[in-house]
Structures are given as C-alpha cells and as structure tokens.
Structure 1
Amino acid sequence: MQKGKLFGWMLAAVVLSACSKNDDTEDENNGNWKELPEMSASPRSEAVAFVIGDTAYIGTGFDGDKQLRDFWKYNPANGWSQSANLPAEAAARSSATAFVIDKKAYVGTGFDGKVRLNDFWCYSPETGNWEKKAPLVGPDPSISLARRDAVSFAINGKGYVATGNDGSGTKDVWMYDPTADQWLARQSFGGSKRTEAVAFVLGQSAYIVTGTNNSELKNDMWVYDAAADNWTQKNKIANVSDESFDDEYNIVTSQAVAFAVNNKAYVVTGTGNGISKATWEYDGVTDRWTKVRDFEGAARYSAVAFVLGGRGHVAAGRTGSLPLDDVYHFEPNATYNEND
C-alpha cells in the first residue's frame, strides 16, 4: 500500500471526516511517519509482535474470518519472510500477548474463536522451534486465569502479564520466572480493572495506561516498580486537573499500541470516540504528554507495535471491518515528508 491510498470511497469518507487535520496542526506537530514494505502475511488485527536481535516478528491475529497461528519476520536488510508457525498443538488465536527474555519470545493467552486461553509458548530463533511452557495458572489451578487482551512486559529477566478480559475486566498481575518455568502472583494493578490497555517500559519501570472497563474508557495511568512490587499513580491522561498542562489532553482510548524509544514512550492509534490516528509522546521524567505527528496510515485499532533499529513501528490492525497489512516507522525528530 502507498501512503494515502484509499480503501474505497466509503472508507475514505469515514476516515477523512473522523480524523482530518488542518494545516496549522500539521505544522505544529513534530516527527514523520515513513511507510515500509507491507507484510508478506495476510492482513490481520489483534496479532502479537516482538523483536529479537535485529529481527521483528508478527504473528497470530484475526483476518476477519478466522484466528491465525502463522508468524512472519522482518529485517530491514532482507525484508519479510515466513517464520515458524505456532505448532499444531497450540490453538490459532487472536488477542494474545508476548514478551521477550534472553533472546527468546514467550507468546500466550488470547482467544481461539470460542474460548479464552492460558497456554504459553516459547520461541527460540537459534533453533527455529516453539516449546510449550507452563500455562498461566495460580496457586489454585482450578481457578482459570485464561484471558484475552492482556498487556505484558519484561523487566530484569522476568516476564509479566497484567489486566485483560477473563469474562470481564481484570487487574491481577502475574510474573513469569523462565528458570523455574513458573508463574507467581504480584501486586495487583493499582488502577481499576481493565482490558485493551497498553504497556511500555522506560528504564526499569513499566507503565500501564488507556483501556476500557464496562465500556468506560479509563483515564488513569500507573507505573510499576518491579523491585519493590508496587504501583504508583501518575498524572491522568485527560483534562481533569486545575493545572494547564493537560488542557489539550485527549489520550483516552482502547485497542491502541505503544512503544518506547530514546527514553520516550508513544501511544498511537486506537478507538474510543472514533478510530484514531493520534500519536502521543510521553516523558517519564516530567510525567507529561505531547501530541506529535499523527500516524500517517489509515486510522486503525488493534494494530501491533515494536521497536527495531532505534525506531518505533506500527503495523497491521483494523479500520472498520477491514484488516490491514501495512507497516510504518516513526522518526520523532524528523521533518514531515508527505511523499514517503
């Protein structure tokens, strides 16, 4: 797909009416989105993405008809090629989650089209194989921890899965120890229950923000100190204070994506009051958000994000009923170029 390509006049009308920007806004925003080669895989939403070394991987998801188990890898020098699919023993799935520890990726939970899942699988690029790992279970295995639309992150050699939907929103947090192949309960998320949130890591701290619970978009944001196992609330992401810094905040959304690069975090796209193209930059030192260059592909939700080559990338997702396969990376300090 080329930047600005329309997906039919009806879709174009929806995107343009919901997400139009005036020239003044374009001039004020910073950064540039550049389109990359589209995925060789079929278009999809609700996939997972992870990076190992100099290669990004995208897999699973929903193509509008069925859940998927295939994986594809991308390297800027070599382009796209197929990677090892989830094994036949593993259900095809969407709305799963993934994290990386010691150059191995862990993919689990999600939805197979009928039930929520709690299994986890580990991929090693050295062997090219997937290995079954301990499912997400607590001290009482009779209590299901299966879920979809959770968030995950990795800190200090441990993986974490938090929030999600087990039939309703959740706020529990579980830590995976790869040496013991075991899940341990951690301090529950400090905010209210939620699903379809995003997580990112700055330094040794993990942040969870956005999402929804009982159809209500959440405007709180929390940071997790893994060493102390506690949560601290940060400034809210809507205009709710008496201070002026949040007068222009309109970050509340769900099914967005997030990535962190160069000590800044970015929350991009999503859905709430319409399908979004917004890009918000977060400074963890000042606890402030700045609106930067809007995403330059089609407005979307349920995309994936990853960091490769020092740049944040956004790929795939859905706009209305249409799954996507395009890929863009963001250059926060670049001058806007409408032709790339």
Structure 2
Amino acid sequence: MLEVTALRWTLTIALILGLLALDLGLAMARPHVVKFREAAVSSILYIAVAILFGLVFAAQVGWGFGAEYFAGYIVEKSLSIDNLFVFVIIMSTFAVPEKYQQKVLIFGIVLALILRAIFIALGAALLSLFSFMFLIFGLVLIFTAVQLYRHRNVDPDVQDNVLVRVARRGLTVTDDYVGGRMFTRHAGRRAVTPLFIVLIAIGSTDLLFALDSIPAIFGITDEAYIVFTANAFALLGLRALFFLVKGLLDRLVYLSTGLSLILAFIGVKLVLHWGHGLDDRVPEISTNLSLIVIGVVLTVTTVASLIKTRRDPTARAHAGSLRAADRPEPEPADRPGPET
C-alpha cells in the first residue's frame, strides 16, 4: 500500500492549483483566438509536466506505483479526448465565438476536477469498505463499453440535455453573448446569455464523464493519490489540447470503438480482481499488461482511423453515446464539423 504523507498531498495539490491558476489567468486575462503555435507549446508543456511528475514519483516510491500512474494517466488522457469531442459538439451547436471558448473550457476543466475529486473520495471509501464494489464498478464499465460500442456512430444531442431544457424554459436567454458575460439585463429583466446555457451543458457532460472515468482508473489502481494525480494531470492540459486537435478530432473515426474496448478490458480486470479476492485460483491482470493493452488499442485505433479517413475523406468520427439517437443521424456530409 502506498503511504502518502500530508506534506506530499499538500505539495501535490499546491502544484496542481498553481498550474490551474496559471492556465486560468492566461485565458481570462486576455480572451483571444488561440493559434496553433500557442496550443502546441502549452500542450507539450503540460504533457512534459505530467511525465516529469510521474518519473519523480516513480523514483521515490517505486516503479510499480509509477507504472500504475502512467497507465492511469494514459487511460484518463484517452477518455479526455472523447470529452473534448463532446465539447466541440457543444461549442458548434451553440456557435460559441472562438474568443470565448477558452472561458468555457476553463470552467469545464475546473468543474471536472472538482467532480473527480468528489468521486475519487467516494470511490476509495466504498472500495475500502465493500470489496464487492470492484464487481459493481467492473459491471458498470462493461455495460458502458457495450452501450458505447453499440452507439459508436452517434453524437450526443445537446438539445436533449435535461438541465439545458429546464434552464431554457425557466430563464430568459439573450440572443447574443453580450461580451462574454453569463448574466445581464434584457428588457428590464434579469437574463442569462447563451454562454450560461453552454456552461450548464459542459457541466452536465463533466458529471457523466466523471461517472465513467473514475471506475475506469480504479481498475488500474486502488491508490487514491495515484487516481487523483493521474486525473488531474490528464485534465490540466485540456484547454490547449482542445485548440490543438479540434480540427483533427473528426478524423479519429474509431475512437469510440477503441475506448469501448479499453473500458471493457478494465471492467473485466476489476471483475477478476474481485474474484481473486474470493479465490486465489482466479487470475488477475497485471498493471504492466494493462499498460501494454491500452497502448496497443490506442495505437491501432489512431492508425486505423487515419487510414480510413485517407481512403474515405467523407468519413467523420462521432463522440459515441450511451443510448440511441432519438432521431435519424445526419448523413456524414451534412454533419457539422468543428470550427476552424
């Protein structure tokens, strides 16, 4: 079991909050359209910080725990790409001006961190009290994987979001973004701008992703510190990564398929771990094998997607959904792509 001192927790949280404050400060101080060079430099910086943290952490506590961190980081990073996919759909649906997209992303990342911290604490407590929670988490991931694969060619419909519908019915919403503000006055009445509705859509999406990603990483490790840091470092670079890859997301046509395979694999790993606790004859899947499987699936998924889109330029990726669309999908050629 990993022993984490109060000092290590304090320094780690301070580092993460410092990076978050830096990212938030840069985005809020000067709203602007993020160019490719800026996004590339920021993305490389955040990935480098995550890798450096993992190497220092592994050198201090052992490479067994280090492997768990890197496996967890890769899983959360891959799931965050799907999260970005939904963000692109939300931004396009509400026609969010590019200069305000940073503000939306920062809100989404902060909320995602808060939700994940809450679910990590709950998950760790449940796993320590009830061993059968490994079975529950595993079955949830397997169910999620099956549903995601069944509806891998479907995009979630933002207009069907319950919170968005309630907000639109109960609030006065302006037609424009009013300088990037969330609240304003319209015809003498308090009103919200479309940016507020976008933030509600982003927040509810974060909640759904937290429900999936936390059981997934607990399938890699049951150490709360590793779960938290892997999630935090995977999320911190999302703002820059969004602007870097949003033009390429449509080319990852097999992303949902790859993620469904990873979730199913981790689900099986959790079920076996629960079974091993009951009977030593039940095999377990090692962290090193998990790291290899996840790496192979992501590599094959990416390469196959690029080959597919090169051969068929009209092919477009979908974020995937846990349920079928309520209405027929648009033809690939009619599907709105991300903003450029």
TM range (shorter): under 0.3
| Structure number with bigger Rg | 2
Question: Please, what TM-score do these two structures have when normalized by structure 2?
Answer: 0.21
TM-score, length of structure 1 as denominator length: 0.21
Higher RCO (CA-CA < 8 Å; seq separation 6+): 2
